[in-house]
Amino acid sequence: MPSTIRVDGVVKRPPPVPLTGSGDVSPEPTGNTNSSTVLPPISPQHELDIKSLALVADNRQVKKFWKPRVASNLGAEITTSLAMSASLAGRQLGLGTIETESTRLFTERFHVHKQKDMKTLSHDQLHEIAGEFFWRIDDIFFFGLLTREIKGKRGRRSLVRFITDDSAATENQGIFRPKEDHIKVWLRDTSGERRRLEQLIATIAHECVHAYLCIFTDYRDPNYEEHVLEHYYHGTMFWELVEFILLIIFLLTRSPLFQWEIKKHRGLSELCASYKREFGPR
What tens digit of pLDDT does each residue of 212-238 get? 999 999 988 888 888 887 867 788 899
- pLDDT of 174: 95
For the stretch 32-87, pLDDT in tens is: 434 456 777 889 999 999 999 999 999 886 554 455 666 788 999 999 999 999 99
- pLDDT of 39: 77
**Which CA distances in Å does 17 have to 52, 93, 97, 113?**
32, 25, 22, 13
Low-confidence ranges of the chain (pLDDT < 50): 1-2, 16-35, 64-65
- pLDDT of 7: 73
- pLDDT of 249: 94
Cα-flanking dihedrals φ and ψ of residue 254, to 5°? 60, 25
Taking CA 41 as the corner, what is the angle to CA 38 and CA 47, rounded to the nearest 5 degrees? 145
pTM above 0.75, yes or no: yes
- pLDDT of 221: 87
- pLDDT of 85: 92
- pLDDT of 68: 61
- pLDDT of 56: 92
